[in-house]
Structure 1
């Protein structure tokens, strides 16, 4: 079409419609020239040039291993001290053998760094044994109380659940009985008296007077006040 015919067509149709017709023809021509591109699923991943590529990026997804602690996991079941002691009762024999071995080694090393290390190890073993015996006594006491409550419930009585303070008193009474049976009550009471006397001595007014007398400036200030 000549230029005059195009101007005449623009006047007849309108400028807006004329531009749409002209652009539509050009896009159709361009699309007809370009072949259709089919996306390949195995093509490499295209990263945008506007975003900075990280130094460490996850190319292949990795299944992260989650650590599981059986002590705090519900899959391991609930902790029952009675079942635990029965299951691992063989450890008591192993601990006793280890203690005898440490004592033999302690006789060989009379002094030095090795002697101190073995002495600390033996002391820690004895403390663990004492704590284990205490825990077993408390466990036996709880079981005895449970049996007593069960027997009372079978007889038709209302079960009584002692408070924590009462449980501590019962445990203390049982401890005194055990000390009396083992003839260690007097030594325990003497240590207890010395400890309490040391605590009371710190709160006596005489100690404050001796502290004030050690510094004359403080004594003069105290007298002036």
Structure 2
């Protein structure tokens, strides 16, 4: 008994002098408890705790540090670990990304010139005229009611576009003529007369009516406009009744 107490005293002094941490003391105690268990009990405990936790309890945490790869010479290629997977899309030579550019809002593309644009792309109007002819031929032969409705809608839309373009051309020609008259008056020393916006709008309306009359659509257009006004008035009456 005296010998056992002497050994215990020596081991305690040794632990004190070697500056053993509380964590290490706890780990030693756990090992002592585990050493008294049978192999079967240890296996069950390992399955319950998991291999990682069990190994930490028995052998302590692994102190192995992650290896850092350094180049002996800065001019050598970088050494990479074989355990790290190489990305599939790797930028070997970095390429500068091109930013999207919209020519409508880019000053580098110059200013928009409507006259030059229409002159350069006038062939598109010719294609559209040909397309309209083909649609008019197709609507005569097609028997599918759904397709017939689609063609009818396309024909109507294209005809409206052509009509609008024609009115815009006439308006541009009038403005050009008016500008020319003002320049001539200025050259002759006369006082230039500028038309009001209301007068210009009235001329545009007259041109539109003349165009509709020529195409035989004036009565139809007036009737359509009248129905619109009637519907608008009905909605106003209903809303006023609801408010009351």
Correspondent of 1:103 among 127, 136, 158: 136
Is there any run of 5+ residues in structure 1 with no aligned partner, and where?
1-36, 47-53, 213-221
Correspondent of 1:89 among 94, 113, 122: 122
State the structure with more CA Rg: 2
Distance 1:200 1:153 in 2: 50
Distance 1:146 1:80 in 2: 18
Match of 2:225 in 1: 192
**2:131 is aligned with 1:131:** no
- CA drift of 1:187 comes to 4.0
Does the 8 Å contact 2:136/2:155 carry over to 1? yes
- After TM superposition, list the pairs within 5 Å mapping 1:195-214 onto structure 2: 195-204=228-237
Coordinate RMSD, CA, aligned: 3.7
CA deviation profile, 1:44-64 (whole Å, cap 9, x unmatched): 289xxxxxxx9x985642122
Distance 1:81 1:203 in 2: 42
- For these two proteins, the number of residue pairs brought into alignment is 168
Q: Which has the higher contact order (CA 8 A, sep 6+)?
A: 2
Is there any run of 5+ residues in structure 2 with no aligned partner, and where?
1-70, 81-86
Correspondent of 1:40 among 74, 87, 90: 74
- After TM superposition, list the pairs within 5 Å mapping 1:52-131 onto structure 2: 60-131=93-164
Distance 1:74 1:104 in 2: 45
TM-score (norm 1): 0.57
